[in-house]
Amino acid sequence: MLHRFFLPLLLAGAVLAASPAAAQRKVKTKTKTAAPKAAPAGTAAPATGGAPTTYAATITAADLRQHLSVLASDAYEGRATGEKGQKMAAEYLSKQFAALGLRGPTSNGANPYLLPFGVVKFAPTGAGALRVGARTYTDGRDYVAFGPSAFLTEAKADPVFLGFGIETERYNDYAGLDVKGKDVVLLQGEPVDERGHYLLSGSKQETEWSSAFRKAALARDKGARSVVVITFAGGSSFQPMAAEMAAQLAEPTYELTERVPQPMTGFMLTDAPPSGIDLYLTSVDVGLALLNTTYDALGKYIFGSFSGQTPPSAAFRAQSFSLYHPQERTELASEDVLGYLEGSDKKDEVLVVSAHYDHVGIQHDTIYNGADDDGSGTVSVLEMAQAFAQAKAEGRGPRRSILFLLNAGEERGLLGSEYYTGHPVFPLAQTVADLNIDMVGRTDPRHKPADRYLYLIGSDKLSSQLHALSEAANATYAKLKLDYFYNDPNDQEKLYYRSDHYNFARNGVPVIFYTSGLHQDYHKATDDVDKIEFDKLAERARLVFYTAWELANREQRPVVDSNRP
């Protein structure tokens, strides 16, 4: 599972009282654990095309252990994307699909089970600097830099001030402006009044536009080269936050060699840096120099944005500045692994069953085997593929086709699924759903050791019918406790955005994300095979199998009738 990019209050919107320097805060929300509402009665009747329990029984703890003991062994060196161990895993998985009689559906390489894609690794090689006139500001003290850099050597920026960097029907900083190739300078947060009421929400609730990452994603899609976001933290408060992020910001970042444009559907990850654009966050002291202004003038601009409900006409002019952010650039080759089982009378419609087979590799001379993350999901997909292949061999194959999709690059930013959804082997319009499995082999601290449970995330986000079908399949066959704790839009862990189903969801494909939750060995070298609860893993994989069976055989595909965040 993709690690959540940790950021403190630096990325929250400014709650302004009398001035831009007023204290910031996070909006507190009540966590909900109730299940989403089911679809109307009659929308999720179990399919009748076969005997799913017969084939679900072939998904066994012993088989899961056999596969996982290979994939999560030290020999596979943690399966880091683009590295030796990931290549070994891709070869192993493609051979398993071939042995099951699945078809390799790709045509762009020697192995039809592999979908190749390129990745670029960016590793910081030293401290950067930002210069405004005769003043030099230091990376990690006066500002922080995220992701790949266009300023590998010191170069002049082409700055343009664009207010809050918002584009909505109600408030638009981009109206009539072309920012292609520009370096956009923005303010943190969004228009707000002295009482802390936000213009866009009409309340004290921030919107997604308070996120610097949301602003950067829009600027990227507008063609900007970089984004500089001015926070309202002075040096004494900015520097401790920058120091807290230093270790994580020193880690390499990754992008697809060929960036895949993704639709802006309302599903917007706002707590991770967007790929494809430079992003810099500065202290307010740097911001005042960049805009050649004062604190009071900045406050008047912010409150004027609220009262006028439009960007003030007397905008600041961004001053000339230069940047230097040195990085080493390394190109890597990776691949998703695909196995295709053709359906019968509805074979043109495709169900995707996915997991990611990469992990984080070797760190500080220690192998991170990733047995649960996501070896558990990977072997679950293998066993489900075996069960469906056996059903087809015995004349009980699915009506719809099934694509078993094992992604690489998930730990590097959902890159493999981003590439697939940008270059789908089967049209996304014909993809009925994605059932994604990530970390299903352990018991998390929220549950007792004897609990038979599974977290479901996203089942109701796009299709109430998919949610109802999922509930019915569980009630009929698996009878696990379905836990919707992380399905809450206000989930602090943001799990909905942190695995490969997200790239399908943002393209309008209904999804269910299955996980047994986070635990103390998550992203640690101690995530090993000996800690996997294989009996629980088997029954969880069977639940996904039953849901897949229903989706593959029911008369109608799930209708997309919602677009919930």
**Residue 5: pLDDT band with limits 50, 70, 90:** low
Residue 382 burial (CB < 10 Å; 0-12/13-18/19+)? buried
Check residue 489 and give its pLDDT. 85
Q: Which CATH class is domain 53-119+333-553?
A: alpha beta
Sign of CA dihedral 250, 255, 257, 258: negative
* 79 vs 265, residue with greater confidence: 79
Is residue 161 pLDDT above 70, yes or no? yes
Residue 472: both structure tokens together: 């019915």
Residue-wise DSSP of 15-41: --SSSTTSPP-PPP-----SPPPPPPT
Q: What 8-state DSSP symbol labels residue 372?
A: I
Q: What is the pLDDT of residues 21-73, one digit of tens each?
A: 343 333 333 344 456 765 544 444 454 445 899 999 999 999 999 999 999 99
CB 145 within 8 A of CB 249: yes
Amino acid at residue number 231: T
Domain range annotation of the chain: 9-28+126-325, 53-119+333-553
pLDDT per residue as tens digits for the range 68-94: 999 999 999 999 999 999 999 999 999
- Look at residue 104 in the predicted model and tell me its pLDDT: 98
Q: How many CB atoms lie within 10 A of CB 127?
A: 13
| Average pLDDT score over residue span 482-487 | 97
The pLDDT score that the predictor gives to residue 267 is 45
Q: With bands split at pLDDT 50, 70 and 90, how would you rate the model's confidence at 15?
A: very low
Residue identified by tokens 């230097």 is 324
CA distance 202 to 198: 5
Q: What is the pLDDT of residue 264?
A: 54
* 198 DSSP 8-state letter: B
Kindly report the number of other CB atoms within 10 A of residue 131's CB atom.
Answer: 16
Assess whether pLDDT exceeds 70 at residue 8: no
Q: Are 455 and 390 in contact (CB under 8 A)?
A: no
Q: Residue 78 has which token pair?
A: 């943690």
Compute the distance between CA of residue 39 and CA of residue 519 in angstroms, rounded to an integer: 33
Structure tokens at 446: 């929220």
Please tell me the predicted confidence (pLDDT) of residue 37.
Answer: 64
Under the banding of pLDDT at 50, 70 and 90, the label for residue 258 is confident
Q: How far is CA 471 from the centre of its chain?
A: 25
pLDDT at 27: 31
| Fold annotation for 9-28+126-325 | Glucose Oxidase; domain 1 (3.50.30)
Q: Is the pLDDT of residue 266 over 80?
A: no
Q: Which residue has the tokens 């009996």?
A: 535
Least confident of 44-53, 145-154, 414-423, 439-448: 44-53
Residue whose C-alpha is closest to residue 309's, from 196, 199, 166, 161: 199
* Contact (Cβ atoms closer than 8 angstroms) between residue 131 and residue 137: yes
CA separation for the pair 138, 237 (Å, rounded): 15
CB-based contact 536:518 (threshold 8 Å): no
What is the model's pTM?
Answer: 0.89
